[in-house]
């Protein structure tokens, strides 16, 4: 059984389609990245999975169950959405203790102390949450979401507002939860470097539709294993250069920023691509090649004004 399974999921609000035939699954113990621009449908997907919204059509199952009607499975799920679920007038300790009581956590005090130490909040354990910075609230929110050792964890922008050191700590915690405790994590994030480091597979959604669903490695290789950055000479015609590139079946996508072209390509060598531009009489000032990153692929998938691909 898949930890999470979505099939032909669609959701509309007042006749406006937010999700259109979304399908993907998440394996048990996997750290799965769910990517897309703001308004793409990521949060709506999570809310349907959590039973907070009913789908217009299709299915969204967690451990084979619809959480809208299954409290037993719901108990095995941890959640941190855009609202951290914390009570401002309670202290950090009181917040975790309260949620520990709700979930019936054994050795609640020990678990609360452990999480406060893990997330670097022990010194502020008695302080009211309204005095916390955004980053501190986020760390406490993550601790709250795993107080009961859930089997499946939903995280929506978990490192938002955190400094680099805290981001690294959260990434390490997520990886440990998956590797050592077998926890399944579905992670929505705009931090693509973070996703590339900790996620095995990703789905990219735009305008309510899945644009890509594969391993990070396959996406990088399948949509152009390399990029070629070309800075055209001042007198060069960028439009003409793009037309030349259109003629090659190896070109995956081209992004233009003034005289600079970023070219995603497949099997054709960088030297062959440059030669085709030179043959057209188009001058080049500088060229460099790098391996494709997940960010490169993501931008190609969601960019509104994509020139090629």
User: Could you give the CA distance from residue 272 to residue 227 in angstroms, rounded to a whole number?
Assistant: 13
Which among 283, 233, 240 is positioned nearest to 259, based on CA atoms?
233
- 163 domain-assigned: yes
Q: In which residue are the tokens 């188009």 written?
A: 282
- Same domain, yes or no, for 38 and 136? yes
Asked if residue 58 has pLDDT above 80, the reply is yes
Asked if residue 229 has pLDDT above 60, the reply is yes
3-state secondary structure string across the chain: CCCEEEEEEEEEECCEEEEEEEEEEECCCCEEEEECCCCCCHHHHHHHHCCCCCCCEEEEEECCECHHHCHHHHCCEEEECCCCCCCCCCEHHHHHHHHHHHCCCCCHHHHHHHHHHHCCCHHHCCCEHHHCCHHHHHHHHHHHHCCCCCCEEEEECCCCCCCHHHHHHHHHHHHHHHHHHCCEEEEECCCHHHHHHHCCEEEEEECCEEEEEEEHHHHHHHCCCEEEEEEECCCCCHHHHHHHHHCCCCEEEEEEECCEEEEEECCCCHHHHHHHHHHCCCCEEEEEEEECCHHHHHHHHHCCCCCEC
Averaged over 64-87, what is the pLDDT? 88
Domain end residue (candidates: 216, 231, 258): 216
- Same domain, yes or no, for 127 and 207? yes
- Same domain, yes or no, for 189 and 290? no
- Same domain, yes or no, for 40 and 175? yes
Asked if residue 35 has pLDDT above 50, the reply is yes
- Same domain, yes or no, for 167 and 65? yes
- Same domain, yes or no, for 212 and 230? no
What's the structural domain count of the chain?
Answer: 2
Domain that holds residue 295: 223-302
Q: pLDDT tens digits, residue range 85-116?
A: 999 999 999 999 999 999 999 999 999 999 99
- 308 domain-assigned: no
- Same domain, yes or no, for 186 and 237? no
- Same domain, yes or no, for 175 and 280? no
Tokens of 113: 């102390």
Report the pLDDT value the prediction gives residue 147, as an integer from 0 to 100.
Answer: 94
- 288 domain-assigned: yes
Q: Are 18 and 11 in contact (CB under 8 A)?
A: yes
Report the pLDDT value the prediction gives residue 225, as an integer from 0 to 100.
Answer: 58
Count the alpha carbons within 13 Å of 264 in the hemisphere toward its beta carbon: 25
- 309 domain-assigned: no
* CATH code, 284: 3.30.70.100
- 307 domain-assigned: no
Q: pLDDT tens digits, residue range 158-194?
A: 887 778 888 888 888 888 888 888 899 999 988 888 8
Confidence at 305, pLDDT banded by 50, 70, 90: very low
Calculate the CA dihedral of residues 68, 74, 77, 78 and round it to 10 degrees: 80
User: Could you give the CA distance from residue 78 to residue 33 in angstroms, rounded to a whole number?
Assistant: 16
- Same domain, yes or no, for 198 and 285? no
Domain end residue (candidates: 185, 216, 247): 216
């Amino acid at each position: 059984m898949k930890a999470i399974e979505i099939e032909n999921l669609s959701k509309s609000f007042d006749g406006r389609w937010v999700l259109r035939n979304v399908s993907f699954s998440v394996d048990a113990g996997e750290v799965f990245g769910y990517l897309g621009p703001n308004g793409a449908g990521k949060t709506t997907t999570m809310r349907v999975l959590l039973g907070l919204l009913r789908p217009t059509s299709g299915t969204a199952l967690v451990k084979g169950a619809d959480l809208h009607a299954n409290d037993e499975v719901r108990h095995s799920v941890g959640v941190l959405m855009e609202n951290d679920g914390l009570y401002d007038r309670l202290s950090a300790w009181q917040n975790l203790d309260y949620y520990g009581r709700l979930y019936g956590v054994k050795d609640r005090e020990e678990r609360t102390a452990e999480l406060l130490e893990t997330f670097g909040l022990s010194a502020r354990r008695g302080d009211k949450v309204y005095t916390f910075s955004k980053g501190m609230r986020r760390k406490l929110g993550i601790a709250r979401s795993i107080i009961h050792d859930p089997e499946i964890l939903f995280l929506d922008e978990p490192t938002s507002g955190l400094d680099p050191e805290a981001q690294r700590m959260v990434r390490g915690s997520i990886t440990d939860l998956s590797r050592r405790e077998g926890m399944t994590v579905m992670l929505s994030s705009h931090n693509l470097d973070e996703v590339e480091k900790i996620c095995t597979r990703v789905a990219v959604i735009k305008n309510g539709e899945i644009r890509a669903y594969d391993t990070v490695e396959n996406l990088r290789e399948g949509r152009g294993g390399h990029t070629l950055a070309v800075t055209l000479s001042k007198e060069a015609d960028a439009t003409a250069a793009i037309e030349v590139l259109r003629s090659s079946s190896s070109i995956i996508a081209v992004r233009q920023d003034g005289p600079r072209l970023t070219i995603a390509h497949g099997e054709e060598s960088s030297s062959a691509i440059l030669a085709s531009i030179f043959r057209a009489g188009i001058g080049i000032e500088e060229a460099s090649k790098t391996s494709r990153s997940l960010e490169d692929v993501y931008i190609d998938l969601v960019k509104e004004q994509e020139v090629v691909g």
